[in-house]
Chain A
Amino acid sequence: MRMVKMRMVNMTDNTKTAVRLLGTAVFMFAFGFLLVPLYDVLCAVTGFNGKTAGQYVSEKAPEIDKDRWVTVQFITNNNAGMPAEFRPKQRSMRVHPGEVNTAEFFVRNPVARTITAQAVPSVSPFHAASYLHKTECFCFEQQQLAEGEALDMPLRFIVDNELPADVTTLTLSYTLFNVSQEALAVAR
Chain B
Amino acid sequence: MITEHPHDSHGPDKGLMRWVVTTNHKDIGTLYLWFSFLMFLTGGVMALIIRSELFQPGLQLVQPESFNQMTTMHGLIMVFGAVMPAFVGLANWLIPMMVGAPDMAMPRMNNFSFWILPFAFGLLLSSLFMEGGAPNFGWTFYAPLSTDFGPPSTTFFIFGVHMMGISSIMGSINIIVTILNLRAPGMTLMKMPLFVWTWLITAYLLIAVMPVLAGVVTMMLMDIHFNTAFFSAGGGGDPVLFQHIFWFFGHPEVYIMILPAFGVVSAIIPTFARKRLFGYESMVYATSSIAFLSFIVWAHHMFTVGIPIAGELYFMYATMLIAVPTGVKVFNWVATMWQGSMTFETPMLFAIAFVVLFTIGGLSGLMLSIVPADFQYHDTYFVVAHFHYVLVPGSVFSVMAAVYYWLPKWTGNMYDEALGKTHFWLSFIGINITFFPQHFSGLAGMPRRIPDYALQFADFNMISSCGAFLFGFSQLLFLFIIIKTIRGGEKATEQVWEGAHGLEWTLPSPAPYHTFATPPSDLNDAHG
A interface vs B, CB < 8 Å? 1, 3-4, 10, 13-14, 17-18, 21-22, 24-33, 35-36, 39, 43, 46, 48-51, 79, 118, 120, 126-127, 175, 177-179, 184, 187-188
Judging by beta carbons under 8 Å apart, are A179 and B181 in contact? no
| Contact residues in B for A17 (Cβ distance below 8 Å) | 176-177, 180-181
- DSSP majority for the A interface? helix
Judging by beta carbons under 8 Å apart, are B240 and A18 in contact? no
Judging by beta carbons under 8 Å apart, are A35 and B248 in contact? yes
Query: In angstroms, how far is the closest chain A Cβ from the Cβ of B224?
Result: 7
Query: In angstroms, how far is the closest chain A Cβ from the Cβ of B359?
Result: 32
| Contact residues in A for B214 (Cβ distance below 8 Å) | 29, 32
Known contacts A24-B207, A32-B214, A127-B308; is A4 also within 8 Å of B235 by CB?
Answer: no
Query: In angstroms, how far is the closest chain B Cβ from the Cβ of A173?
Result: 12
Judging by beta carbons under 8 Å apart, are B308 and A179 in contact? no
Q: Mark B140-161, 1 if CB is under 8 A from A, else 0.
A: 0000000011001000000000
Is B418 positioned at the interface, with any CB of A under 8 Å from its CB? no
Q: How many residues of B contact A (CB 8 A)?
A: 44
- DSSP majority for the B interface? helix
Judging by beta carbons under 8 Å apart, are A10 and B176 in contact? no
Chain B CB count within 10 A is highest, among A14, A26, A118, for A14
Judging by beta carbons under 8 Å apart, are A25 and B233 in contact? no
Judging by beta carbons under 8 Å apart, are A31 and B212 in contact? yes
Query: In whole angstroms, what is the CA distance A46 to B152 when docked?
Result: 37
Query: In whole angstroms, what is the CA distance A1 to B1 when docked?
Result: 9
**Interchain residue pairs with CB less than 8 A apart (5):** A4-B1, A18-B105, A21-B176, A21-B177, A36-B219
Judging by beta carbons under 8 Å apart, are A21 and B308 in contact? no
CB under 8 Å from chain A, chain B span 1-39: 1-3
Residue from B106, B211, B227, B235 within 8 A of A32 (CB atoms) = B211
Query: In angstroms, how far is the closest chain B Cβ from the Cβ of A26?
Result: 7
Query: In angstroms, how far is the closest chain B Cβ from the Cβ of A46?
Result: 7
CB under 8 Å from chain A, chain B span 139-197: 148-149, 152, 169, 172-174, 176-177, 180-182
Residue from A13, A39, A46, A126 within 8 A of B241 (CB atoms) = A39
Is B230 positioned at the interface, with any CB of A under 8 Å from its CB? yes
Query: In whole angstroms, what is the CA distance A56 to B274 when docked?
Result: 72
Judging by beta carbons under 8 Å apart, are B235 and A118 in contact? yes
Query: In whole angstroms, what is the CA distance A15 to B310 when docked?
Result: 45
Query: In whole angstroms, what is the CA distance A187 to B235 when docked?
Result: 14
Closest to A7 in B: B3
Query: In whole angstroms, what is the CA distance A188 to B143 when docked?
Result: 13
Closest to B149 in A: A187
Judging by beta carbons under 8 Å apart, are B3 and A4 in contact? yes
Judging by beta carbons under 8 Å apart, are B208 and A187 in contact? no
Known contacts A17-B181, A26-B211, A39-B244; is A49 also within 8 Å of B306 by CB?
Answer: yes
| Contact residues in B for A179 (Cβ distance below 8 Å) | 234-235
Known contacts A49-B240, A177-B234; is A28 also within 8 Å of B209 by CB?
Answer: yes
Chain A CB count within 10 A is highest, among B2, B214, B215, for B215
| Contact residues in B for A79 (Cβ distance below 8 Å) | 233-234
Query: In angstroms, how far is the closest chain A Cβ from the Cβ of B17?
Result: 26
Residue from A24, A35, A49 within 8 A of B208 (CB atoms) = A24
Known contacts A4-B2, A28-B209, A29-B212; is A177 also within 8 Å of B233 by CB?
Answer: yes
Query: In whole angstroms, what is the CA distance A149 to B1 when docked?
Result: 87
CB under 8 Å from chain A, chain B span 219-240: 219, 224, 227, 230, 232-235, 238, 240
Query: In whole angstroms, what is the CA distance A35 to B238 when docked?
Result: 12
Query: In whole angstroms, what is the CA distance A178 to B208 when docked?
Result: 37
Is B269 positioned at the interface, with any CB of A under 8 Å from its CB? no
| Contact residues in A for B219 (Cβ distance below 8 Å) | 32-33, 36
| Contact residues in A for B245 (Cβ distance below 8 Å) | 32, 35-36
Query: In whole angstroms, what is the CA distance A1 to B212 when docked?
Result: 45
Query: In angstroms, how far is the closest chain A Cβ from the Cβ of B298?
Result: 11
Judging by beta carbons under 8 Å apart, are B209 and A188 in contact? no
